[in-house]
């Protein structure tokens, strides 16, 4: 069985999205700056069907990240805007266009009932019976490979509270958002043990990998 | 003129002290874990007049930290418990005993009027006319050397808001405090530009140095 890991970009002040989130602005005010380091990379462009982009340590890391996961879990707000928004309408196909960058099975934690959605080589399966079920399905899909929780904050928090998370891989952007969605929130009762296992330095972002145990 | 830098230990979830701070528990619940990496070090023990302790990268860094500053600025809550507590009484001599670990001039931001307090080779001067005055006095004392803001959070925030900070040196402890005093708070109107300039990895703590500009 592979590891369950969460990988996410976070501001130095601890936010994974900025304030004033709306359907037109899913990352909130300034939140797109969290991902500036990613969108410039050659590997990211390639996984989005584009050419060009920068190479270097961040790009090597992103290549490994893209290749690593055997399946992905995400929260409903990462797949689409919340309750009552277009994600409750069967026509919503995610933020990523016809060729989403996941290229594997993605399990979406949601109360919305919906048939699986296949877009290119990514399949979104909508899981209505909770995070443990989503984890079981993702582990089945991943086989011996690792399962990634791609976000958002509340999905990561659920697995931290549940004690199932094995690894936390943070991309710390050198920005202060001053408000928005905090990564480390709603963790009452969770007391994970964190152990720094790898640090990767770059001018654009600092990558911190922690081993997580109960 | 030297740099103005803030150096402080912070939990991975962004706290510089835990919840439920009291005179008996100045770092709040669990807050002493922020400094576990420090109190074990040979250089720290030496600066506190003790022998023994561990050596290695964290210890080398602490030696440099102790040697670096030409003067220190701290908030009143770092010097003593807040308004109405023993810090308003002239008998309070700080948390550190007869031989405080600063060994230089320390400027305390406070509304309490009090004559300077000398303990061994550390002098505490109580500044009542605001952070700019404290900075000016500290720069005079430091000469060409750097001035350190040792904490707490609100002192660092004042100089971030004022745009005077040149460097932020964080010791990120691999713990989640879940509540307490946030380092990055009360920064409305401040929009500092942060640039990662150094990362030092160790099993106990991750050291992140940022250049700060307006």
Q: What is the DSSP string of A144-162?
A: TSEEEEEE-HHHHHHHHHT
Q: Tell me if residue A61 falls in helix, strand or coil.
A: helix
State the pLDDT at residue A128.
Answer: 95
CATH class of the B4-18+28-213 domain in this structure: alpha beta
- Residues of B within 8 A of A195 (CB-CB) are 174, 203
State the pLDDT at residue B35.
Answer: 94
Model confidence pLDDT, tens digit, residues B69-85: 899 999 998 998 765 55
In this complex, is the C-beta atom of A156 within 8 Å of any C-beta atom belonging to chain B? no
> Out of A13, A198, A210, whose CB is closest to B174?
A210
DSSP per residue, chain B = ---EEEEEEEETTSEEE-SS-BTTBTT-TTGGGGGHHHHTBHHHHHHTT----B-SHHHHHHHHHHHHEEEEEEEHHHHSS-TTSGGGSTT---SSTTS-TT-SEEEEE-S-----EEETTEEEEEE-S-HHHHHHHHHHHHTTSEEEEEE-HHHHHHHHHTT---EEEEEEES----SSEESS-S-TT---EEEEEEEEE-SS-EEEEEEEE-
Residue whose tokens read 């528990």: B25
State the pLDDT at residue A77.
Answer: 86
CA proximity to A51, closest of A60, A43, A62, A59: A43
Q: Which residue of A has its CA nearest to B206?
A: A196
> Would you write out chain A's pLDDT as a tens digit for each of its 214 residues?
899 999 999 999 999 999 998 878 889 999 999 999 999 999 888 877 889 999 999 999 999 998 898 999 999 989 987 655 565 667 889 988 898 989 999 999 999 899 999 999 999 999 999 999 999 999 999 999 999 999 999 999 999 999 999 999 999 999 999 999 999 999 988 889 999 999 999 999 999 999 999 8
Q: Tell me if residue A19 falls in helix, strand or coil.
A: coil
In this complex, is the C-beta atom of B141 within 8 Å of any C-beta atom belonging to chain A? no
Angle, vertex CA B32, rays to CA B29 and CA B34, nearest 5: 110
State the pLDDT at residue A69.
Answer: 82
Q: Hey, are the CB atoms on B192 and A176 less than 8 Å from each other?
A: yes
Q: Hey, are the CB atoms on A194 and B14 less than 8 Å from each other?
A: no
How far is residue B93's CA from residue B73's CA, in Å, rounded to a whole number? 16
Contact B195, A185 (CB under 8 A): no
State the pLDDT at residue B191.
Answer: 86
Q: Which residue of B has its CA nearest to A203?
A: B196
CB contact residues (below 8 A), chain B span 16-45, against chain A: none
State the pLDDT at residue B47.
Answer: 76
Rg (CA), chain B: 16
- Residues of B within 8 A of A201 (CB-CB) are 196, 198-199
State the pLDDT at residue B45.
Answer: 87
Model confidence pLDDT, tens digit, residues B3-47: 999 999 999 999 999 999 887 888 999 999 999 999 999 988 887
Domain A4-19+28-213 has CATH 3.30.70.270: no
Mean pLDDT across the stretch B155-161?
97
Is the complex ipTM more than 0.85? yes
Strand partners, B4: B147
State the pLDDT at residue A82.
Answer: 65
Contact B72, B152 (CB under 8 A): no
Give the pLDDT band (50/70/90) at residue B189: confident
In this complex, is the C-beta atom of A196 within 8 Å of any C-beta atom belonging to chain B? yes
Contacts of residue A27, defined as CB under 8 A and 6 or more positions apart, other chains included, come to A17, A18, A21, A34, A35
pTM of the predicted protein model:
0.94
Q: How many Cβ atoms from other residues are within 10 Å of residue B4's Cβ?
A: 21
């Amino acid at each position: 069985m592979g590891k369950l890991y969460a990988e996410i970009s976070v501001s130095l002040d601890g936010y994974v999205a900025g304030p004033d989130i709306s359907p037109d602005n899913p990352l909130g005010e300034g939140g797109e700056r969290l991902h500036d380091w990613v969108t410039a990379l050659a590997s990211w462009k390639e996984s989005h069907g584009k050419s060009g982009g920068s190479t270097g340590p961040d790009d090597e890391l992103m290549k490994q990240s893209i290749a690593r996961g055997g399946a992905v879990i995400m929260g409903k707000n990462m797949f689409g805007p919340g309750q009552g928004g277009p994600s409750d309408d069967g026509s919503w196909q995610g933020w990523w266009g016809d060729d989403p960058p996941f290229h594997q099975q993605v399990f979406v934690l949601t109360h919305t009932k919906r048939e699986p959605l296949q877009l290119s080589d990514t399949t979104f399966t909508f899981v209505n019976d909770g995070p443990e079920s989503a984890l079981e399905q993702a582990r089945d899909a991943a086989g011996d490979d690792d399962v990634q929780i791609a976000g958002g904050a509340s999905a990561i928090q659920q697995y931290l509270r549940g004690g199932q998370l094995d690894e936390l891989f943070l991309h710390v952007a050198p920005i202060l958002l001053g408000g928005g969605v905090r990564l480390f929130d709603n963790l009452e009762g969770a007391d994970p043990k964190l152990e720094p296992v790898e640090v990767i330095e770059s001018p654009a972002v600092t990558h911190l990998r922690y081993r997580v145990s109960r």
